[in-house]
Structures are given as C-alpha cells and as structure tokens.
Amino acid sequence: MKLKHISFALLLGTAGLGACTGHFDELNTDPNNIESARPGSFVTPTVYGMSTYFTVRSNDFTWEIMQTGLSNPSAANGAHRYYLTETSGDGTWNTCYRYLRNVREMESSAIAMGNPVYQAVATTLKAYIAGILTDSFGDVPLSEGLLAEEGITQPVFDTQEKIYTDMVAALEEANTMYTADAVMDGNDLLYNNNKALWRKFNNSLLLRYYLRQSKRIDATAKIKAILDNPAQYPIFTSNAEAAMVEITGLAPYDYAWGRRQDYVNFTAMAEFFVDRLNELNDPRRPFIMTQASITDEDNNSTPIGYKGIPAGHSGQEVFGFNPSTPNGDLMYPNNVGTPIKEILMPYSEVEFIKAEVYLDLGMMEEAEEAYEKGVKASIEQYGGTVPADYFENEAAKFNGTLERIMLQKYLGLFMVDYQQWFEYRRTGYPKLPKTPHMLHNGVMPTRFMYKNEVRRFNPENYQKAVEQMGGDDFHTKVWWEK
C-alpha cells in the first residue's frame, strides 16, 4: 500500500498517537476506506525502526546521563554534565510519531479486515511507543494527533494522567483480544507471529505502566492482582519470551551502527557503572566492556581489570590509564551476520517489578526470590552464568531495601532506551555521584523540551500544555514524578 503522507513541518507540529478520540485505541478513520496492505506488513518496520533508533539513543544519551558510559575525550558539554539543548529531544519526538503513524495504519487495516489479534498488536506497540514519548516530554498530543488529513492541524496536548489512564485501559482490553481465533501471517521480526508471546509483552508493559504511576495510584494492588492471575494475565517468565529483537547485521536488518568502530571508539565506560559491577564480581562485565590497561613508554599495554572514568569530570583530567571501552561484539560483531539483540523490554524487568511490589507488601521471601530471578535473568541474557556464590557477596545479597532492587534493575536495563533514566526519576535510585562540573547545580534533567516547531505552529495548545505541566524546561516534572 502506498501510504498517505503529510508534510514534514506539519507532522512536527501536529503529530500524535494513532487517530484516537476520547479513548486510547479508538480510530477516527473509515474502516471501509483501507487500501491493500495487510496489518502484518507494518509490524517489522515498526519494531526494527524503534529498536534500532533507541538502541543508539540508549548509548548516546542514557549512558551519559545515567553514568553508564561517556564520550572520551570529553572536554566540554555532554549529557554526563547534564548539558541538554532545546533540540535534545527532537529525534525522540520525530521517531515516536513516525512509528505511531505506522501503528495507526496497522490498526486501521486490522479493523477493516476483521482481525482482532492485529488490533491487539497495534495497541501493544502503540503503548510501548507512547510510553517512551510521554515519559520523555510529559503532556503530548495523542487524542487529536495525526489528524491533519481530517483537518485538525493544531491538536490539543493530552495530560499525562489521561494518557496513562487510556494506555492501561487499552492494554487491558488488548489482553483479551489476543485470545481471539485469528491468525498472524505477516513478517514479524520480534515474535514470528506468536500471538501468545505478544500477549505476554502486552501484559508485561502493563506492569511497567502501573508501576510507573506508583506515586499517583495504588500500583501495588493492581500489579498484585495481575501476578495472582497468570492464566488471565500471562507475563514474561523467561528470556526466551522477552521483547528482544534479533538483528543479523545483514540487509535490510543492519546493526544500529554503520561500523563497529562507531560503537567502540571514543567512548569510555563510566566509573560508577563499572565500580558497581566490580563490587558484585559480576559475570556481565566481559560481555559489556573490555578491560582497562596501562601503556608503558615502549607502547606495551598491560591489562588492569575493569575500570571506568568519572562522569561529570572537568575535561582537564589525566587519568593515567586507558579506561574500559564498550565490547564491540555486543552490538556489532566482527563477523557481520552474527545475531545480536536489541531490547524493547527485558524479562529481568518483570522480576524486578515483582520484587518491588512484594517488598511493598512485606512479602520478603517472594521479594527475595523475584530479585534473584531478575539478577539471574539479566546475567543469562548475555550468555553468562550466575556463580554459585554470587548472592553470598554482601553487595549482591538481597537486603530488603528498594535501593538494592533498583541497583540491579539499573544494571538490567542497560541498553534499554531511556528506562534507566525514567526509573531514576521515579525512585531516585541508584544514588549517582555528583560533581561540581555538572550543570544545574547537579540536578538531573527530568524531561526534554518541546520541539520549536510545536511552539511555532501550535502556539495556543502549546501554551495550554505549558500551563498544565507547570513549565517547559529541563526540570519540569511530569505527572507521575510529582
């Protein structure tokens, strides 16, 4: 099908989620006026496009702001010093809306062809993308978005509270739609048309979004109800079920970086991230990074173990060693064609959600079990093995605190779009070191600013959004943070 297009400038000013009206999954389209594309044809382009873009963004933004890795050398600016600009979120805005448009076409086609399973897949993908979008910006145009062809060129900004309410309601509805007697027959890079696994992804996202609202709703009760009813709400139970996209590096599914050196060179692992893994004597280290080294006057290199450099440094330091760098095999193997994984949502995240909920309920045995399962899942995700004495280490042992769970969740969310950043904003963990060279008095930015085109082409609704949000700067808190 040849898709209808709207101008780039118009998309920037008016784009939004699907063609919703008052409900997250309602469409403002004529189901009888659908061209020939089948709904399954939209799955792989959307999954591949999102996973590849946000794999890169996890590296060049989340690594820096969450002290996982940073540019090296880095003489000035950089997200690790909390330096953001008005355009820092532009790529996120454009990419999310681009693929939300794909999802709209998928949903329209699914309705026209009477396939409720693809309607459910569209809802799951819509929620996945919309979650990143609203957690990055706050209030955004969704209910009236992408309706330029219907004459709406200045859409309202939905509050994040409404977005979350509609999003979880749609995921709840999609959970039942996956049980319909309908087939998936398209090209599905994520789950190879296995609707049972799509359903588990859907419900695992539901856990994520209930927990994200924990300051605003009784998330513990809602999540506990899901966990107590696995027949009605199947969720991830293994790495094999997680939302991880296998990429071969062979056209058309190229790796996220054009060359191996683009991922490896001019990047150092951050001291905070490396030190936490060292304290754990963690088997994930060799999969993620190289060993640091010292080079002598004869240019001989001697390994010194895993060692990073501090984020937020002055730019003038001489560290006296070659820091650990990213292991290229993780994202761009030497042998192109070797599969790698880009992560939409890992199984370990589900176990850490369970651990947090059980901790909140005082169910300590269940919390410890989920915590250890989460750690194990994260290590095995890389192909590693959990040492028999791993949890005997005081740094790894479950100690009944949210801080301990969130540290391992932080490690488990490595390379998962912006999730480390979102979870830090929700909980304040892990406790990241501050330096005098960080901007904003060392206060981490909590969102991206709206695009300039949004302010220019939709000024009235932009101003209403600013009033709803309480501002449009890097430290304006989104609804679930307040």
Q: Domain containing 177 — which CATH number?
A: 1.25.40.390
Cβ neighbours, 10 Å, residue 186? 17
> Using 50, 70 and 90 to split pLDDT, how confident is the model at 148?
confident
Phi, psi (5° rounding) for residue 342? -110, 135
User: Is 480 part of any domain?
Assistant: no
- Percent pLDDT > 90 in the chain is 90
Using the 3D structure, point to which of 293, 311, 330 is the last residue of a domain.
330
Residue-wise pLDDT tens digits, 65-117 = 999 999 999 999 999 999 999 999 999 999 999 999 999 999 999 999 999 99
* 251, 268: one domain: no
Q: Domains in the chain: how many in total? A: 2
Residue-wise pLDDT tens digits, 301-356 = 999 999 999 999 999 999 999 999 999 999 999 999 999 999 999 999 999 999 99
Pairing of strands 301-305, 267-269: unpaired
* 293, 440: one domain: no
Across the chain, what does the average pLDDT equal? 93
Cβ atoms of 67 and 308 within 8 Å: the answer is no
- 192, HSE (Cβ side, Cα atoms, 13 Å): 3
* 305, 319: one domain: yes
* 404, 369: one domain: yes
The letter for the amino acid at 89 is G
pTM higher than 0.85: yes
Given this model, what pLDDT does residue 131 score?
Answer: 98
| Low-confidence winner among 32-46, 121-135, 241-255, 405-419 (lowest mean pLDDT) | 32-46
Using the 3D structure, point to which of 305, 330, 355 is the last residue of a domain.
330
The DSSP result for 373-407, as a single string, is: HHHHHHHHHTT----TTGGGSTTTS--S-HHHHHH
Given this model, what pLDDT does residue 25 score?
Answer: 54
* 253, 264: one domain: no
Separation of alpha carbons 373 and 375, rounded Å? 6
Separation of alpha carbons 131 and 434, rounded Å? 28
Q: What is the mean pLDDT of residues 160-173?
A: 98
The closest alpha carbon to 67, from 424, 481, 473, 480, belongs to 424
> Using 50, 70 and 90 to split pLDDT, how confident is the model at 153?
confident
Cβ atoms of 14 and 458 within 8 Å: the answer is yes
Residue-wise pLDDT tens digits, 176-186 = 999 999 999 99
Residue 125 CA from chain centroid, whole number: 12
* 202, 67: one domain: yes
Is it the case that residue 15 has pLDDT exceeding 70?
no
Residue-wise pLDDT tens digits, 373-386 = 999 999 999 999 99
β partners of residue 70: 268
Separation of alpha carbons 141 and 425, rounded Å? 22
β partners of residue 326: 289
Given this model, what pLDDT does residue 147 score?
Answer: 79
Separation of alpha carbons 141 and 160, rounded Å? 10
User: Is 155 part of any domain?
Assistant: yes
* 216, 245: one domain: yes
* Tokens at 194, concatenated: 């296995």
Cβ atoms of 134 and 140 within 8 Å: the answer is yes
The closest alpha carbon to 328, from 390, 257, 411, 271, belongs to 257
Q: At what angle do helices 419-427 and 402-412 cross, to 10 degrees?
A: 170
Given this model, what pLDDT does residue 24 score?
Answer: 64
User: Is 416 part of any domain?
Assistant: yes
Using the 3D structure, point to which of 330, 360, 388 is the last residue of a domain.
330
The closest alpha carbon to 414, from 307, 280, 285, belongs to 285
Length of the chain: 482
User: Is 162 part of any domain?
Assistant: yes
> Using 50, 70 and 90 to split pLDDT, how confident is the model at 146?
confident
* 138, 236: one domain: yes
End-to-end CA distance of the chain: give it in Å, rounded. Answer: 44
User: Is 481 part of any domain?
Assistant: no
Q: How distant, in Å, are the alpha carbons of 78, 225, 234, 235 from that of 229?
A: 46, 7, 8, 10
* 245, 300: one domain: no
Q: Is 302 helix (H, G, I), strand (E, B) or coil?
A: strand
User: Is 132 part of any domain?
Assistant: yes
**Domain interval for residue 304:** 260-330
Contacts of 192 (CB under 8 A, 6+ apart): none
User: Is 109 part of any domain?
Assistant: yes
User: Is 3 part of any domain?
Assistant: no
Cβ atoms of 316 and 301 within 8 Å: the answer is no
Separation of alpha carbons 126 and 151, rounded Å? 22
* 318, 358: one domain: no
β partners of residue 341: 246
Contacts of 306 (CB under 8 A, 6+ apart): 269, 274, 277, 278, 285, 289, 291, 292, 324
Residue-wise pLDDT tens digits, 427-438 = 999 999 999 999
Is it the case that residue 124 has pLDDT exceeding 60?
yes
Given this model, what pLDDT does residue 2 score?
Answer: 31
Cβ neighbours, 10 Å, residue 444? 18
* 318, 343: one domain: no
* 56, 167: one domain: yes
Separation of alpha carbons 249 and 251, rounded Å? 7
Q: How distant, in Å, are the alpha carbons of 124, 224, 398, 448 from that of 90?
A: 24, 37, 40, 8
The letter for the amino acid at 132 is I
